[in-house]
A and B are shown apart, each in its own frame.
Chain A
Amino acid sequence: QQKVQQSPESLTVSEGAMASLNCTFSDRSSDNFRWYRQHSGKGLEVLVSIFSDGEKEEGSFTAHLNRASLHVFLHIREPQPSDSALYLCAVSPGTGGYKVVFGSGTRLLVSP
């Protein structure tokens, strides 16, 4: 069964400094990966989707997938205090099923 783990559990960075979040998954046949963000008391919003090894950039968010090492990273360029939120990694099964598995999240705090 797919396992998705995120690190660190929490991260504090200064405004403007790069933030890097890590997600590891267990099933190498997984075929698509998304990063979501959740502000307190709100639903999840998708930030970036990635389907093949390499990088995918959406605004200030860059996802980096390395399927061989079972890692997908999220880099946030020049984060602002408004980027303080819970960041969740979501991995979809390679068999094309419906069960997306989420990590437990990294709580990011961006200090002014």
Chain B
Amino acid sequence: GGIITQTPKFLIGQEGQKLTLKCQQNFNHDTMYWYRQDSGKGLRLIYYSITENDLQKGDLSEGYDASREKKSSFSLTVTSAQKNEMAVFLCASSMGGNSGNTLYFGEGSRLIVV
């Protein structure tokens, strides 16, 4: 089995600040994803990457940047944190191919904007 590690677990920042979340996976999966989850609700896709150095926008990419410099890691940057962005950010990975594969998730990073 493998594991997805997200850091930090809690990220506190000020309004307007640039903040970065990191994700590492040891499944050797090709595809990685960043989702945003608001207050016990469903997930919305921010960015995904189908291979190293690839980036694809999801439905919620505005205000975010992403980077996939290595197969095992995928980072997400909030370019200018806003108070209405306080949410849990979930990283996931899946085998290559397409969405036909199961997604495996990390435990999430909670963003708090003060």
Contact = CB atoms under 8 A, between A and B. Distances in A.
Chain B CB within 10 A, most for which of A4, A31, A99: A99
Given A34-B102, A42-B107, A92-B100, A98 B31 contact: yes
A41 B107 contact: yes
Interface string A76-112: 0000000000101010110011111011110100000
Contacts of A41: 107-108
Contact of A46 (B31, B45, B102): B102
B84 interface: no
Nearest to B100: A32
Contact of B99 (A4, A36, A98, A105): A98
Interface stretch (B11-19, B35-43, B63-71, B74-82): B35-43
Given A32-B100, A43-B105, A99 B58 contact: yes
A100 B106 contact: no
Given A103-B42, A107-B40, A97 B99 contact: yes
Contacts of B34: none
Contact of B100 (A4, A31, A42): A31
Interface in A1-37: 4, 6, 31-32, 34, 36
Contacts of A46: 102-104
Contacts of B103: 44, 46, 90, 100
A99 B45 contact: yes
20 contacts: A34-B102, A41-B108, A42-B108, A43-B4, A44-B90, A44-B103, A46-B102, A46-B103, A88-B43, A92-B98, A96-B99, A98-B50, A98-B99, A99-B58, A100-B45, A100-B99, A100-B103, A102-B35, A104-B41, A105-B42
